[in-house]
Structure 1
Amino acid sequence: MGKHLFIAEKPSVAKEFAKVLGVNGNAGNGYLESKDYVVTWCVGHLVTMSYPDAYDPALKKWSLQTIPFLPEQFLYELIPDVKKQFDIVAGLLNREDVTCIYVCTDSGREGEYIYRLVDQMAHVPASKEKKRVWIDSQTEEEIERGIKEAKNLKEYDNLSDAAYLRAKEDYLMGINFSRVLSLKYGRNVMNFLNNGKWSAISVGRVMTCVLGMVVRREREIRNFVKTPFYRVLGTFSYEGQQFDGEWKAIEGSAYFQSPLLYKENGFKEYKDAIALCESLDFTKEEVEKGTDTNKTKTDTTEPVQDQNQTDVPRMAVIQKVEKKKEKKNPPLLFNLAELQNTCSKLFKISPDETLKIIQELYEKKLVTYPRTDARVLSTAVSKEIHKNITGLRNYPVVKEIAEHILEQKSYQGIAKTRYVNDKQITDHYAIIPTGQGFGAIAGLNLTAQRIYEVIVRRFLCIFYPPAEYLKLAIIAKRKEEAFFANFKVMTAQGYLAIASASFSRTKAADKKDNDTEETQNTDSTVLSVMQNLKKGMEVELSMLSIKEGETSPPKRYNSGSMILAMENAGQLIEDEELRSQIKSNGIGTSATRAEILSKLVKIRYLKLNKKTQIITPELLGEMVYDVVNSSIRSLLNPELTASWELGLTQVADGKITSDEYMEKLNGFITRRVDYVKHTNNQYLLKQMFEQAAVYYKK
């Protein structure tokens, strides 16, 4: 009987497989072996695509005459630093006594690509049986299941095709567009920067689109002109309690649809806000002093009342009282992008750092596979989810919470909730705790421990009921002018009782659960009085005040919001049909977004503030933006990037062929390269560079 060979992506993963298979020994040889099994590993990528000069030495020199470069057959080569391990793996794959190969690289497009390249370069006979192990965590049970349910590798051929195409696409766009733009405008960029030596302009399918998003946002902020506006607030008194209402110009108001307004709840000019107050029988002096006519004259803190102030109460009539109960459900589970965004806010760490920590938690069996876009569980996993919860009883931070969920058996109906949806899962379900690996927690750094707790709490929240609120909306009118007041009080904490991390200084119900300024979070005593109000009743309008505000510019991206923007790039597309087609395809993938952002910072196109995680352009990045914008503008737009990503998904799903995809890709590259060759934007670009440089002078 022949041996079974298991090949993992990393040594650490291979050791977990070896443990499950009972394979011991010295890993120093690059593999482990027993009577029945051999376990080996890659060290990430062992094979890469060859540069153009491997096709023809003449292509080493960049020239407009040799592009577009579109080979019919692509060449690959070994990565020198890891050639030794490749030779070991290739030898094992071709051993005569190895009759079945289990592919255990990461379960996704990139993991598939890593193995297929090795298989291709090692010339593994097609006659050998090859199976694909697809797992969501590195627990013993999941590895055992993955081996038992391993499918024929051929079932993943479409995924492999998509992986090859993604690499070819990035390779061809990078080489052709970087070369043609560098040859045409590289000297102009360097001369402007007084760099002295020629340098390449680096562009790519995904990275240039991200650069475009950041530069456009920065220019929106620069060009933003603040607009002041003035809101009128009324203070109402009823049975010894006070509440505030905001004036709005609804139908019937003297200011309905007036050009004097900034939106429906504010004026462009202060004098017009004063005019409204005067029409409601308040003097300008009363408004500016903020005089409350409801206060007694024996109150020594009361400002001296103006001689024009009336002693006659100014009453308002209640037009509407609406009571309703509101529920706030626990948020969906974490995918990688959402977790990177959360960690950027909580810990001020970059997406790249977050991914490294989550990968470590995954390899230590604490959480499930990190490179996922899904925020829900699969039906199959939901049926066994009590095992994860049971395991969390061994995690002291949430021991009592886990026990409570198990006692209440609240996990039993989870499959019928929004947290389980097979249609929203592609390769992997959401990131959740495995309920195992607790021995490794003490060895984690503090940030990793805290991130683990954040993941655990997000997971446990879905087994708790929603938070419940009582909301009260009141409309009061004086003359024909309406004031709106909204109140809310929490009546049941629900999941918010467990949502706050143990290290958090604030409550879970703080920032995210506060409504806008219009909603007054209040206590039950005040609310109980307000609930007695009925339509037609009178309340005293005891004070009017004017609150000045101003419009705000768009916010800069931080590292977390940038990752989310990349994930949701389809939302930026105006064309409704195209947007609906690619709503599940963002810019890049969960596995590559952090790396792309890091590269843009490294090549000094973008700047990342490590303390705040705010992202801004560098001057070089703005200049490259202008070069691309005047030459290959579509590279800057999410439509292009997300459309290509959609194409890769269609290949993976078997809806289009690799040949169809490559035909479109080659045509696009040829047209854009030819356009740049015959366009001269040097003078125009110099003007653009000068405009941008103003913002970078020290």
Structure 2
Amino acid sequence: MKLIIAEKPKMAKAIARAIGASPDPKVRGAYEGGDYRIVSCEGHILEQLSPQGYDERYKRWRIEDLPIHPEQWKLKLIENKGRYLTMIRNGMKNSDVVVSAADPDAEGQLLVDEVLHHLNWKGVTLRVLINDLNPKPILKALDNLEDNNSDKFQGLYRRALSRSRGDWLLGMNLTRFYTVMGREFGLDQVLSAGRVQSAVLGMVVRRDLEIENFKPHDYYAINGRFGHEKGAFTAKWNPVEGQSGLDDSGRLIDPDIAQGLTEIAPEAAEIVEHEVKRQQQNAPKPFSMSDLQKEASRKFGMTMAQVLEIAQALYDKHELITYPRSDTGYLPEGHHEEGPVVLAAIRNNLGSQAVYCDNADPSIKSQAFNDAKVKAHHGIIPTAKNSQQAILALNAQEKRIYEMICRRYAAQFFPPAEFNATRLLAKTLETQQLFKATGKQWLAQGWRVTLDTKAADEDAESEEESEATGELPPMQKGDALTLEEVVSQCKQTNPPKHFTDGSLLDAMTSIHRFVEDPKIRAMLKEGDGIGTEATRANILEKLVKHGLIVREKKLIKSTMAGQAHYHLMPQAMTTPDMAGLFESRTRQIEDGETTLESFLESVDGFIREQLSLKEDWGRRARELGLEPPKKTPGPPCRHCESELTKVKSKLTKKFLMLCKACNSLFEHDSGLPGFCVKGPLKEQDMAAKQARRQERMKDAPPCPECQAPILRFKSTKTQKHFWRCTGCESFYTDLAGKLGPAFVVRGEKVEPKADGPPCPECESNMSRQITKKKKPFFLCRECDTMCWSDEGELGKVFKRRGEMVNTASKTKTSD
């Protein structure tokens, strides 16, 4: 029998449907049919062991233990994923061939191969490449099985494995090093480090510093108003080659030249260049996860993590969209035939909000349908689930994201939008000044009818903000013009904008723009930037969690700790270069040009270099104004008056006070030594404690159960008082300092006894209770009626049979 191991449960289900396999009634998520048994992982089910998993001493972060490099690399089961490993292990027992149905990329190859290695599988392993979950492509793929142990696939495995282990070494070692050093200089945050997150922190800090150090200057925007026999239009002044008075960006900064230009009108002019091009605007492809995150950030101010969570819910919980963690917008060509069904589902689910579907043409096949461009996953699109009930179950944010995905998908079945793009250059006859104008005239809206009104308005606004001036009068080269007026507007340069989730994500996916080294730039440009669709949101949230960056509404800014961390890390860590070097070396490992061991040795070398710069790190920290925090001396020991140190008990997790001189241990009492739990004063403190207890017991009331003295205590967890019997282990509630109903009797938990007056609604006995503001009231547990206590007697009813009583409206009625 062949055992197919899919990367995810949905893929296993799709394979089972394609080959006609039935669910195993005894094993959830497993299928059998013909010569196949189908099981799955759930993404990664194994993860790298933490340092303390190799050695308990690594629980404590100490520089002297660095660098940490496992002699034998180990994996551990991810919490709550044990059933998948068990399902795969049991499936192997009756199989002679395993077929890996992981995603056709390096990470997918690692995901299943590491499970096979972990379970010590020695049998035949084949590989199937599936990137379309429709039955026909799956059956075709199963007819073309390949050897999983070929260099083609093992190269991908080596590439992903080297990246995983390299990231572990870099992150575990340098995070500990920087964090321990930071604490010595008063930085209490976890100063996390890694090839991606450090580069992201670097981008944010550099942008913040650029804004902080920005010095604005004035410049002049010059526009001319021209008259033509067919109408008037506005054109932008175009400086000639060699024009004086311009800044590095070509903006006019000389006020005298600006003033002179305003004085040339009126003047005769002519059109020296005129061009009209009929152009088409194709529909944008369906969303990838990064595109969806950018658009949702721009339109709704959502964070990357929020969009990922919402999309995951639309996929897993509501089953309204396809797999969301996709890195492409292209679709398999076989999906085109499903268009009519999916469009009908959109129309039914969204009703009047999807009237654009009525004009969609399922015979149109956009450029997004392209098998050659589909990677491990295809673009995010709606499923054919036709259910208005499912839409009613969505919250507002989920519905917004679903609508975005539907509009983008429906656009694939509309023709391109068409417009005339006009460009002209006007020249004044006397002063020989040049002015240029561009215009756009929409001829056919095409796919743009799928845009919502707000999106269409924003699109129009963006065109107005560019050089396009809307529609221009019909003109041609050589036409006579009159320059009627020249207007000079003094403006001021603006600093770059702080990052938002959308713009930071854009920077991460096009990280090559921030790299100077041409080889590294080309390497990163060829890939998908830094991070993946699944990890980018988590990387950003980790930086927020560690206090290195902060969100201020939609803006992302670095904190003081983040800026200090940036300045104290080497430049190689805070730029994308490290990510580029990792990518370069891991591809060499894939191609067999170098070894995993050689790569990890180079990572170790970089780590050791950083550890050797400990003194330099401290020097640079002082240059930044960081100083080791002044140590406040601890309180004196009650026995020998030596300084006490605050420690935490491993057993109770409570703080204690330790004297290293006489080895005494005291309870921590608001920063001072309290009861001695170990040492020469223990017996003395115990005797004093017993004496105080005996004194309290003299006036203590008797326990209703056994008549032993009962004492009042305060819970350290809830800060509420309660009564405890010293004889029979019974516990009672506290009612404003008085004994209340029992909730534990002789060690057994019980419902508090209803010892109050009869309920005015059902006549059951009510229980005495007290509010957080210490106001007593009565509760009927039978009918959920509540009354205030009036000096121990029944007062006004404020809740009747579960419904709050509106006393104000009652009073009005009685009046």
Measured against the shorter chain, the TM-score band is: 0.7 to 0.9
Q: Which residue of 2 aligns with 1:89?
A: 87
Q: Which residue of 2 aligns with 1:261?
A: 246
Deviations 1:203-248 (A, max 9, x none): 1111111001001001101111111112232222233832223333
Residues 341 and 561, structure 1, Cα contact 8 Å, conserved in 2: yes
Aligned residue identity for 1:52 = P
Correspondences of 1:541-620 after superposition (within 5 Å): 541-585=483-527, 586-609=529-552, 611-612=553-554, 614-620=555-561
Q: Which residue of 1 aligns with 2:130?
A: 135
- CA change 1:160–1:358 in 2 (3 A) is farther
1:626 to 567, 589, 610: 567
Q: CA shift at 1:566, angstroms? A: 1.0
Q: Determine the C-alpha separation between the residues in 2 that align with 1:386 and 1:403.
A: 17
Q: Are 2:582 and 1:644 aligned? A: yes
Structure 1 residue matching 2:69: 3-state secondary structure? coil
With 361-370 and 659-668 compared, the bigger mean Cα shift is at 361-370
Residues 191 and 546, structure 2, Cα contact 8 Å, conserved in 1: no
Q: CA shift at 1:682, angstroms? A: 2.5
Q: Determine the C-alpha separation between the residues in 1 that align with 2:247 and 2:544.
A: 40
Deviations 1:419-443 (A, max 9, x none): 7483x555344x1536623345554
Q: CA shift at 1:321, angstroms? A: 3.8
Residues 392 and 435, structure 1, Cα contact 8 Å, conserved in 2: no
1:274 to 238, 243, 259: 259
Q: Determine the C-alpha separation between the residues in 2 that align with 1:327 and 1:87.
A: 55
Q: Which residue of 2 aligns with 1:410?
A: 364
Residues 356 and 450, structure 2, Cα contact 8 Å, conserved in 1: no
Q: Are 2:516 and 1:519 aligned? A: no
Residues 248 and 265, structure 1, Cα contact 8 Å, conserved in 2: no
Structure 1 residue matching 2:112: 3-state secondary structure? helix
Q: CA shift at 1:481, angstroms? A: 4.2
Residues 389 and 402, structure 1, Cα contact 8 Å, conserved in 2: no
- For this pair of structures, how many residues does the alignment match? 612
- CA change 1:544–1:650 in 2 (3 A) is same
1:680 to 611, 616, 619: 616
Residues 438 and 468, structure 2, Cα contact 8 Å, conserved in 1: yes
Q: CA shift at 1:262, angstroms? A: 3.8
Aligned residue identity for 2:49 = S
CA RMSD, aligned part only? 3.5
Q: Are 2:337 and 1:395 aligned? A: no
Q: Which residue of 2 aligns with 1:122?
A: 119
Q: CA shift at 1:176, angstroms? A: 1.7
Q: CA shift at 1:187, angstroms? A: 1.5
Aligned residue identity for 1:24 = P
Q: Which residue of 1 aligns with 2:75?
A: 76
Correspondences of 1:151-230 after superposition (within 5 Å): 151-155=146-150, 156-190=153-187, 200-230=190-220
Q: Where does structure 1 differ by over 6 angstroms across 4 or more consecutive aligned residues?
A: none
Q: Determine the C-alpha separation between the residues in 1 that align with 2:430 and 2:74.
A: 81
Structure 2 residue matching 1:427: 3-state secondary structure? coil
Q: Which residue of 1 aligns with 2:791?
A: none
Deviations 1:366-400 (A, max 9, x none): 555433333445xxx33663334554244316686
- CA change 1:329–1:389 in 2 (3 A) is farther
Structure 2 residue matching 1:469: 3-state secondary structure? strand
With 338-347 and 216-225 compared, the bigger mean Cα shift is at 338-347
Correspondences of 1:162-561 after superposition (within 5 Å): 162-190=159-187, 200-239=190-229, 241-251=231-241, 256-258=242-244, 260-262=245-247, 266-278=251-263, 280=264, 314-330=266-282, 331-363=284-316, 366-377=320-331, 381-382=332-333, 385-388=336-339, 391-396=342-347, 401=357, 404-406=360-362, 409-411=363-365, 420=370, 422=372, 426-429=375-378, 431-433=379-381, 436-439=384-387, 443-462=393-412, 464-477=415-428, 479-501=430-452, 504=454, 506-507=456-457, 509-512=459-462, 514=463, 516-522=465-471, 527-528=473-474, 531=475, 534-535=477-478, 537=480, 539-561=481-503
Residues 271 and 424, structure 2, Cα contact 8 Å, conserved in 1: no
The TM-score with structure 1 as length reference comes to 0.77
Q: Which residue of 1 aligns with 2:811?
A: none
Aligned residue identity for 2:386 = F
Aligned residue identity for 1:135 = I
Residues 587 and 645, structure 1, Cα contact 8 Å, conserved in 2: no
Percent identity, aligned pairs only, is 25
Residues 211 and 636, structure 1, Cα contact 8 Å, conserved in 2: yes
Residues 388 and 434, structure 1, Cα contact 8 Å, conserved in 2: no
Q: CA shift at 1:477, angstroms? A: 0.8
Deviations 1:619-649 (A, max 9, x none): 2222211221xxx220111111122124334
- CA change 1:101–1:358 in 2 (3 A) is farther
The TM-score with structure 2 as length reference comes to 0.67
Deviations 1:257-298 (A, max 9, x none): 32x3346875424344223434x2x6xxxxxxxxxxxxxxxx
Correspondences of 1:43-82 after superposition (within 5 Å): 43-79=42-78, 81-82=79-80
Aligned residue identity for 1:636 = T
- CA change 1:652–1:590 in 2 (3 A) is farther
- CA change 1:371–1:151 in 2 (3 A) is farther
| Structure with the larger RCO, 1 or 2 (CA within 8 Å, 6+ apart) | 1
Q: Determine the C-alpha separation between the residues in 1 that align with 2:58 and 2:397.
A: 48
Structure 1 residue matching 2:310: 3-state secondary structure? helix
Residues 214 and 557, structure 1, Cα contact 8 Å, conserved in 2: yes
Q: Which residue of 2 aligns with 1:696?
A: none
Deviations 1:583-630 (A, max 9, x none): 223212222212211211122211134x52x211122222211221xx
Structure 1 segments unaligned to the other structure (5+ residues): 283-313, 692-698
Q: Determine the C-alpha separation between the residues in 1 that align with 2:455 and 2:375.
A: 37
Aligned residue identity for 1:560 = G
**Structure with more of its chain in helix, by fraction:** 1
Q: Determine the C-alpha separation between the residues in 2 that align with 1:341 and 1:121.
A: 38
Deviations 1:164-204 (A, max 9, x none): 222211110012212332343431143xxxx5xxx642211
Aligned residue identity for 1:395 = I
Aligned residue identity for 1:521 = G
Q: Determine the C-alpha separation between the residues in 2 that align with 1:457 and 1:617.
A: 36
Aligned residue identity for 2:272 = K
Residues 588 and 645, structure 1, Cα contact 8 Å, conserved in 2: no
Q: Determine the C-alpha separation between the residues in 1 that align with 2:335 and 2:8.
A: 28
- CA change 1:321–1:200 in 2 (3 A) is closer
Q: Determine the C-alpha separation between the residues in 2 that align with 1:383 and 1:421.
A: 8
Q: Which residue of 1 aligns with 2:765?
A: none
Structure 2 segments unaligned to the other structure (5+ residues): 628-815
Residues 273 and 477, structure 2, Cα contact 8 Å, conserved in 1: yes
Larger radius of gyration: 2
Aligned residue identity for 1:589 = T
Structure 2 residue matching 1:242: 3-state secondary structure? strand
Residues 229 and 550, structure 1, Cα contact 8 Å, conserved in 2: yes
Q: CA shift at 1:673, angstroms? A: 3.3
With 580-589 and 341-350 compared, the bigger mean Cα shift is at 580-589
Q: Determine the C-alpha separation between the residues in 1 that align with 2:437 and 2:406.
A: 35
Aligned residue identity for 1:75 = K
Deviations 1:330-365 (A, max 9, x none): 234433222221121123222222223334444566
Q: Determine the C-alpha separation between the residues in 1 that align with 2:341 and 2:53.
A: 56
Q: Determine the C-alpha separation between the residues in 2 that align with 1:92 and 1:246.
A: 74
Residues 245 and 483, structure 1, Cα contact 8 Å, conserved in 2: no
